Amino acid sequence: MPGASGSAARGPAIAALRRRLTESWHRWTKARVIAVPAVALAATFVASVAVHKLFFLLYVEHFAEDMRIALLLPAEQTDSNVVVVTIDEQTLAKFPYRSPVDRGFLAETIHAIEERGPRAIGIDILFDQPTEPAKDELLRQVIADARVPLVISYVDDPALMTEEQKEFLDDFVPQSMRVLANLDEDVFDTVHSIYPGHVGADGTFLAGFARGLVAKLNIAAPSDRLAIAWHGRPKPEVDPFPLIPAQYLRAPQVDLKGKIVLIGADYSIADHHRTPSPRSMKAPKGFCRASSFMPTALRSFSRTAPPATSTGASIFAIALGFAAFGAWLGGLELELATRSATGFVAVAGFWAVGFFELFHVARTRLSW
């Protein structure tokens, strides 16, 4: 009968189709063993590169890092190994002009600091123009006769000064005491690391301020950029380093013996720089002044171990783990909404753990 003969004819065809489908499935299963890891590796590579190359992702990465520092930085005792002697509004009120800072007073300040036996002195003030000749000569002589290691801020960028200013600065500051006042700001104008220095026009290497000062103390410093180890405040209203107005320097309770002393500005026209650290001195929230930044930079060189930060290998391993998780999740027979929700919860949970639990601050003892 036609029906019977038709059924018999379709039987072998259906069996052959099933065999082909089964063979294709087995081939796909074997291919998945290779394809899934390959896709995961490719996704990992793209993600690892994108987070450092795509501006939006780079911004998110830096924003999260800054938030961790600002919110989770633990309280620490005031670090008395570095003391900042400040030129503030009350200091300037003693003189007939505000700028440049009275050179005779600076000479007296340096001499008063030397009398108290500091370990080193760093002057974060630029001497790029003449003032009163007698006071200029007095300060020049005090600098030349310094009995402790001394460094002075220096600038070699022609865009920041005139030829006359550059000539005066070169003549006033001895070459062996010059350290660059540059701050190492990233593409978002935030200071995250310490400027190491650069080769000048004459071929000599000029160290950054903090790096040059620790070199005077024979403390080993890395040749590349060093991440800043931000110092937590004892209390929000208390500065992490002792601040002494210069006019009170001769008070009997001032103890500078064996300490690194920085001289810098702390007044209304002083420059401010964005940092991830909480507000410093009288600067706006999220900013600090260079004279407040420098002691933190110096402290970063004193650690006996590097901070626990994410390396390229760890970032790649995390991305690979997420890619493998995504590949495994894609192989499950789940509805799209369930699969998406599961992935979102996993990513959010991991980010939260990383933000709160994997934040580490170098807590090793000082080696000053």
Q: Which residues contact 8 (CB under 8 A, 6 or more apart)?
A: none
When pLDDT is cut at 50, 70 and 90, the band that residue 283 belongs to is: very low
Instruction: State the pLDDT at residue 279.
Output: 44
Q: Which residues contact 7 (CB under 8 A, 6 or more apart)?
A: none
- pTM for this predicted structure: 0.70
**Poorest-confidence range of 19-33, 242-256, 321-335?**
19-33
For residue 6, pLDDT over 70 is answered with: no
Evaluate whether 93 touches 245 at the Cβ level (below 8 Å). Answer: no
Reduced to 3 states (helix: H, G, I; strand: E, B; else coil), residue 248 is helix
- 75 burial (CB, 10 Å; 0-12 / 13-18 / 19+) is exposed
Joined together, the tokens standing for residue 308 give 């626990």
How crowded is residue 25: how many other Cβ atoms within 10 Å of its Cβ?
Answer: 10
Q: What average pLDDT score do residues 321-327 get?
A: 74
For residue 145, pLDDT over 90 is answered with: yes
Nearest CA to 180 out of 143, 215, 227 is that of 215
Per-residue model confidence as pLDDT tens digits over 99-140: 899 999 999 999 999 999 999 999 999 999 999 999 999 999
CA distance 178 to 154: 6
Q: What average pLDDT score do residues 211-240 get?
A: 77
Amino acid identity of residue 116, one-letter, is: R
Q: Which residues contact 146 (CB under 8 A, 6 or more apart)?
A: 110, 114, 121
Ramachandran class of 275: left when φ > 0, alpha when ψ lies in -120 to 50, beta otherwise: beta
